[in-house]
Amino acid sequence: MKWKPSSLRVRWSVWTATAMIVTYILLSLVLATALSQWLLANERAAATISFTELESYMTTRGPTLSVQDFERNTGLLNQFLSRNQSARLLNDDGVEILQINPNSPYPVFTGEVNSFQRMEQDGQDFLYKATAFQIGNGSLYIAMSHSLESYNSMITYLRWSLVLFGVLFVIVSSIAGYFLSSLLVRPLEELKHAMKQYALDNQVVPTLSYSGTDEIGQLAEEYQQMVTRIHKVYAMQERFIGNVSHELRSPIQAMEGNLAMLQRWGKTDPQLVEETVSILQQETMRMRLMMEALLALAKQEEDSNHVADIKQVVETTIQRQDIHDTVTISSSIEPMLLPISPVLLEQVITNLLTNAIRYSKENPVITIVGKVNNNDYIVRIQDQGIGMGENELEKIFEPFYTIDATRSKSAGGTGLGLTFVKQVMERAGGKISVTSELGKGSEFTLQFPIKTK
């Protein structure tokens, strides 16, 4: 893969390595500081032990000994000190009288120093302490110097070790971060490749091999579902356009044929004119109904804050129906506010009543019952019409599908009424179902959710 500074893989690697480096530096500083303090405390403790032993000897033997006695016991005094420690005796004026194990430098004598102080002399780092004790009829000072050469060597070694290990850590973490980011980005690359393939050929739904439950897996799953929905929409759109073209072609051809006959023989045949005008009116009405249904199906937004009084809507819809004396409609509606636009609910009831009347042989009898059932409101519209077979029940909600094409077209049907009803119900969060038997009629059931506070 080419190195692209703006790619997610590179940025991921850089940020991961940077975070690890910063963390390592902070931990190294804490570790170096803690070890430095601990080593220095050990050096101070070792110096304190040696000085305490030497001071104890001087304090207990000093009053009975002379300076010459100390000079003769230099070998004994050396045993109190380690290899990196030195001591010397000074008089009241700070003049050196005796030096023991001269391996460490000394600062300029300024008097008593009650605790070990860290000092530097001639480029050497050491701990220094001086205290007075009695000898014979006078007093002397004992000063001790503890070299920190081994301590500084250890600190230098520690620092270089941390630096070298840090360089190695940076290299390893960068390489590891790059390969780990490659593993994490691989599903995204697969997703990108699938998008490109689908853009080139949207007839095939892409499949992704990554099936993790993490965020990338969820993204891949959402994309898969989205593409599946888009693919279905494309298929429905193609079928929809084909159906529209077919349905519009029939009335247009009928209108063109009748207009041709009217132009050819209409001037001498008044009855032909009347029949042709009637046919043109029917075809025009059919096209108008079809266009209204298509516009309703194309509408994508619905205000979810609308509510409708089902009892009022049903009564209004029945009153607006162009019902002949042979049609009988009875209703028993329990009052309830439903989460749907009153206009759309009226259109739903109108479509179902129109179908019930259209597909009844003679003297249609229709019953509408609405009542609450648990958390739902159920509306049942039952007729005693021609009914439907089981194979037809699966298709009646498809666009432009009609049970009896010749009869429905003569009555002005477009095959879009039930499609519109189903879409409105789904948009309102409800459901529609149908049961039917040939020769005994059909029953459509509308199920609405009841809003609870």
Same domain, 319 and 233: no
Closest CA to 146 of 131, 129, 132: 129
Let me know if residue 369 belongs to a domain.
yes
In a domain, 419, yes or no: yes
Question: Can you read off the two tokens belonging to residue 386?
Answer: 């021609």
Of 276, 298, 320, the residue at which a domain comes to its end is 298
- Summarised one tens digit per residue, pLDDT across range 236-259 is 666 666 656 655 666 777 788 888
Average pLDDT over every residue of 263-280:
80
Distance, in Å, from the CA atom of 333 to the CA atom of 336, rounded to the nearest integer, reads 9
Is residue 187 assigned to a domain?
Answer: no
Counting the structural domains of the chain, the total is: 3
Domain that holds residue 403: 308-449
Same domain, yes or no: 284 and 332: no
Per DSSP, the residues of 342-364 read HHHHHHHHHHHHHHHHHT-SSS-
Is 107 contained in some domain?
A: yes
Q: Higher model confidence: residue 59 or residue 3?
A: 59
63-67, 231-235, 363-367 — which is least confidently predicted? Answer: 63-67
Of residues 410 and 431, the one with the higher pLDDT is: 431
CB 57 within 8 A of CB 79: no
In-domain check, residue 303: no
C-alpha distances (whole Å) from 345 to each of 34, 208, 289, 316, 424 are 78, 42, 18, 11, 8
Q: Which pairing describes strands 441-449 and 376-383: parallel, antiparallel, or unpaired?
A: antiparallel
Q: What is the DSSP letter of 65?
A: -
Looking at the structure, tell me whether residues 283 and 222 fall in a common domain. yes
**Does 166 reside within a domain?**
no
Identity of residue 220: A
Give the global pTM. 0.45
**Residue 47 falls inside a structural domain:** yes
Asked if pLDDT for residue 300 goes beyond 60, the answer is no
Higher model confidence: residue 250 or residue 139? 139
Q: Is residue 140 domain-shared with residue 246, that is, in the same domain?
A: no
How far is residue 344 from each of residues 89, 150, 246, 307, 451, measured CA to CA in Å?
112, 92, 27, 11, 18
Residues 370 and 293 in one domain: no
Residue with tokens 């199920």: 447
Determine the pLDDT at residue 407: 43
Tell which wins on pLDDT, 321 or 407.
321
Count CB neighbours of 256 within 10 A.
9
Domain identity same for 352 and 239: no
Question: Of 200, 81, 89, 104, which is closest to residue 138 (Cα–Cα)?
Answer: 89
Residues 94 and 146 in one domain: yes
Same domain, 322 and 425: yes
Task: Please say which residue of 298, 321, 341 terminates a domain.
Answer: 298
Is residue 282 scored above 80 in pLDDT? Answer: no
Q: Which two tokens stand for residue 197?
A: 């393939």
Query: Mind giving me the DSSP string for 87-102?
Result: EEEE-TT--EEEEES-
pLDDT for res 286: 66
Domain co-membership, 31 together with 124: yes
The CA-atom distances, in angstroms, between 235 and each of 92, 231, 392 are: 110, 6, 21
* pLDDT averaged over every residue in the chain: 79
- Reported as a pLDDT band with limits 50, 70 and 90, residue 376 is very high
The 3-state secondary structure of 162-188 reads HHHHHHHHHHHHHHHHHHHHHHHHHHH
Check which CATH number belongs to the domain holding 243 and give it: 1.10.287.130
293 and 314 within one domain: no
Q: Greater confidence, 44 or 397?
A: 44
